[in-house]
Amino acid sequence: MRDGDLIAWDDDIDLACEARFAPLLEKLLVEQVQKIDDAIDWSVRRDSDCNDCALHFYISFKPKVAGAYQPFSVSIAIKGIVGDKAIKLSSFGAWHNPACHLDGLDKINWQGTNIYVPNDPDGYLRFTYGNWRSPKKDLSVGDGENWECVSIDTIKKAQLKSEFIFKQDD
Task: Output the pLDDT for position 141.
Answer: 58
| 77 and 59 belong to one structural domain | yes
Question: Quick check: 92 and 150 in contact, CB under 8 A?
Answer: yes
Structural domain harbouring 20? 10-81+150-170
113 and 71 in one domain? no
C-alpha atoms less than 13 angstroms from C-alpha of 128 in its C-beta half-sphere: 21
Please state whether beta strands 85-88 and 73-82 pair in parallel, antiparallel, or not at all (unpaired). antiparallel
Reported as a single tens digit per residue, the pLDDT across 154-165 is 888 888 999 999
What total number of domains does the chain contain?
2
In a domain, 71, yes or no: yes
Q: What percent of the chain has pLDDT over 70?
A: 93
pTM of the model: 0.86
pLDDT of residue 62: 81
pLDDT tens string 50-71: 999 999 999 998 888 877 677 7
The number of beta carbons lying within 10 Å of the beta carbon of residue 166 is: 17
Residues 127 and 164 in one domain: no
Among 90, 100, 93, CA closest to 159: 90
